[in-house]
Amino acid sequence: MTTPSLVLELKQVCKHFPGVKALQDVDLRLFAGEVHALLGENGAGKSTLVKVMTGALAKSSGDIYFNGQNCSFASPAAAQQAGISTVYQEVNLLPNLSVAQNLFLGHEPRRFGLIQHQKMQQQAQQLLLRFKLNIDVTAPLAQYSVAVQQLIAIARGVAMSAKVLVLDEPTASLDSSEVQMLFDVMRQLREQGVAIVFITHFLDQVYQISDRITVLRNGSKVGEYLAADLPRSRLIEAMLGKELQQLTHQAATTTPAVAEPLLVLNNIAVKGSISGVSLTVAQGQAVGLAGLLGSGRTEVCRAVYGVDALSQGEIQFGGKTLRLQQPADAIKAGIALCPEERKTEGIIGPLSIRENIMLALQARRGWWRYLPVKQQQQLAAFYIDKLQIATPDADKPIEQLSGGNQQKVILARWLAINPQLLILDEPTRGIDIGAHAEILLLIKSLCQQGMSLLVTSSELEELVAFAGKVVVLRDRQKVTELSGDTMTAPHIMQAIAEG
């Protein structure tokens, strides 16, 4: 084997934002035909490094060498031209354009200068089939779920990747089968000599696919390792700067047999999506929703929360039938939903962390009884500490936080109102291993105090860890319910696959 050539090299790169040294003297070496994992806690600087490397952000100082030449890209388009394609953490597509247009934006197949729509659609269809995605490519992108959008963004990156492909948390909202598909594609590209940067918080995935690992902590590089030489425990230590506190995984919360049912879904359907879903959540019980992408998990959550109107069936809550026009009605009844789409349905970008945390509480209090600023600050300080949100102060706009830290803020928002039923749609999406266990523990303790939970997660292990019952969905219908001994990851997987 010849020594692989160095494609991209970063030397002593710094990036300072007002008030934050996001990157300090970071080095990175990227070789042709390797998968290079970039790891670190939430806020370590991974996304910033990617943005600096690909021209989305200007570096403060340092050098970037591409194919041995010192260069820095003025924009992502310039990097693209040079052969570096990137899928950023926050999916950056145009919701109103069609899937095909999104896939080929900027390099549409043309003849005599005119876009060949037919050809573009055919190519789009083929490209998506690589990811086993058989969808209408002429429909607007906004119609599809985050996971599908994520796959489309990846497909776009893959289609254009000539020399370097950068993937910032591509697997955050994907199920294991889609992750495997992605890995297959990544392996093919690696064979072809493409260098791939891969960011994730799932260490299993790191060891499955990557050849080399660079770890960042607090904006500085901790080290570069060969994946084969780095045991998991040392990797965790490098990321956190200390050993991971062993949190004993207790058995799933056992609910008292006589617990009153809190939420009863009676054969509910929503026009154009789910149909015939029935399930019960008891007081203080955690129920998991499992299923593939597009199986209707998110849609069930939305229906219970009053986002989509029911076309059939009824929702009973605490013995009463609910008529939900909008989420505010659900909140009034004692239901809260932490949504899956962080950027469009979760964060209110320009508002501060403090305001993002207190808003749901305020909305429930009504506009007249303004929560005193002092109490807002206490609330924010409490959750910043509790959920380890990495920020210099609570008055920073939430959009300046790293993705995982934004997720923690949204979670804090819903914990703050202490609802009777908390619906969590992918609650730990993008959260690092240090905070992950902490958050699971927190949710569990809430459950023990009597809060009921309805949780979706593409991580089956996570579901099994704290759900008392798992409901499996397929093709927007309920397939089965598992609890007790049958509720294990393999069983659920089987149910998802076969029904």
Partner 1 sequence: MKQTQSCADSLQQARLARYSPGSIKASARYLWPLAALMLLLAVNLLLDASFFQLSFQDGRLYGSLIDILNRSAPVALLAIGMSLVIATGGIDLSVGAVMAIAGAVCANLLLQTELPLALVIAAGLATGIAAGLINGTLVSYLKIQPIVATLLLMVAGRGVAQLINQGQIVTFLRPDFAWLGTGSWLGLPLPIWLVIGMFALSQLLLRRTALGLFIEAVGCNATASRYLGVNDKAIKLFVYAFAGFCAALAGMISAADIQGSDANNAGLWLELDAILAVVIGGAVLSGGRFSLLLSVIGVLIIQSLSTTIIVSGVPAKFNLLIKALVVLLVLLLQSDKFRRQLSSWLPKLRKWRKGDKA
Ligand X SMILES: Nc1ncnc2c1ncn2[C@@H]1O[C@H](COP(=O)(O)OP(=O)(O)OP(=O)(O)O)[C@@H](O)[C@H]1O
Residue 229 DSSP symbol: G
Name residues whose C-beta falls within 8 Å of residue 198's C-beta, 6 or more positions apart in sequence.
Answer: 35, 36, 37, 38, 167, 170, 186, 206, 209, 210
Nearer of residues 291 and 403 to ligand X, judged by Cβ: 403
Using the rule CB under 8 A, give the single segment among 29-37, 72-80, 124-132, 358-366 that binds partner 1. Answer: 358-366
- CA dist 65 and 215 (Å) reads 20
Alpha helices in 192-306 (DSSP H): 203-209, 232-240, 297-304
- Nearest approach, Cβ of 45 to ligand X (angstroms)? 4
Nearer of residues 178 and 432 to ligand X, judged by Cβ: 432
Token reading at 406: 């934004």
Which residues of this chain interact with ligand X, rule CB under 6 A?
17, 20, 22, 40, 42-48, 89, 390, 400-405, 430, 432
- Nearest approach, Cβ of 308 to ligand X (angstroms)? 30
Question: Exactly one of 296, 403, 434, 468 binds Mg ion (CB under 5 A); which one?
Answer: 403
- Nearest approach, Cβ of 296 to partner 1 (angstroms)? 19
Residue 427 interacting with partner 1 (CB under 8 A): no
- CA dist 210 and 153 (Å) reads 21
44 binds, among partner 1, Mg ion, ligand X, none (CB under 5 to 8 A by kind): ligand X
Q: How far is residue 484 from each of residues 255, 278, 473, measured CA to CA in Å?
A: 11, 19, 18
- Nearest approach, Cβ of 161 to ligand X (angstroms)? 21
Nearer of residues 43 and 339 to Mg ion, judged by Cβ: 43
Residue 56 interacting with partner 1 (CB under 8 A): no
405 binds, among partner 1, Mg ion, ligand X, none (CB under 5 to 8 A by kind): ligand X
Question: Exactly one of 13, 28, 41, 47 binds Mg ion (CB under 5 A); which one?
Answer: 47
Torsion angles phi and psi, residue 333, rounded to 5: -75, -15
Q: In what order do the strands lie in the sheet with 320-322?
A: 277-282, 261-269, 312-317, 320-322
Question: Exactly one of 184, 204, 314, 393 binds partner 1 (CB under 8 A); which one?
Answer: 393
Name residues whose C-beta falls within 8 Å of residue 3's C-beta, 6 or more positions apart in sequence.
Answer: none
Using the rule CB under 5 A, give the single segment among 45-53, 110-118, 170-178, 364-372 that binds Mg ion. Answer: 45-53
> 348, 355 in Cβ contact below 8 A?
yes
Q: In what order do the strands lie in the sheet with 212-217?
A: 84-87, 164-168, 195-199, 35-39, 212-217, 220-226
Residue whose tokens read 């790169």: 13
- CA dist 402 and 405 (Å) reads 5
40 binds, among partner 1, Mg ion, ligand X, none (CB under 5 to 8 A by kind): ligand X
350 binds, among partner 1, ligand X, Mg ion, none (CB under 5 to 8 A by kind): partner 1
- Nearest approach, Cβ of 15 to ligand X (angstroms)? 8
Nearer of residues 55 and 346 to partner 1, judged by Cβ: 346
Residue 360 interacting with partner 1 (CB under 8 A): yes
Residue 355 interacting with partner 1 (CB under 8 A): yes
> 410, 346 in Cβ contact below 8 A?
yes
CA trace torsion 168, 169, 170, 175 (10° rounding): 180
- Nearest approach, Cβ of 32 to ligand X (angstroms)? 25
Nearer of residues 51 and 413 to partner 1, judged by Cβ: 413
Using the rule CB under 8 A, give the single segment among 80-88, 93-101, 156-164, 357-365 that binds partner 1. Answer: 357-365
Token reading at 480: 């089965």
459: which strand partners?
Answer: none
Q: Which residues of 58-93 are buried (b: 16+ CB within 10 A; e: fewer)?
A: ebeebebbbeeeeebbeebeebbebbbbbbbbebeb
Q: What is the dihedral sign for C-alpha 391, 397, 401, 406?
A: positive
Using the rule CB under 8 A, give the single segment among 89-97, 183-191, 206-214, 325-333 that binds partner 1. Answer: 325-333
Nearer of residues 226 and 328 to partner 1, judged by Cβ: 328
- Nearest approach, Cβ of 47 to partner 1 (angstroms)? 16
> 286, 452 in Cβ contact below 8 A?
yes
Residue 42 interacting with Mg ion (CB under 5 A): no
241 binds, among partner 1, ligand X, Mg ion, none (CB under 5 to 8 A by kind): partner 1
68 phi-psi bin (left φ>0, alpha ψ -120 to 50, beta other): left
Residues in contact with partner 1 by the rule CB under 8 A = 18-21, 24, 218-219, 241-242, 305, 307, 326-328, 331-332, 337, 339, 344-351, 355, 359-360, 362-371, 390-393, 396, 413
Which residues contact Mg ion by CB under 5 A? 47, 89, 402-403
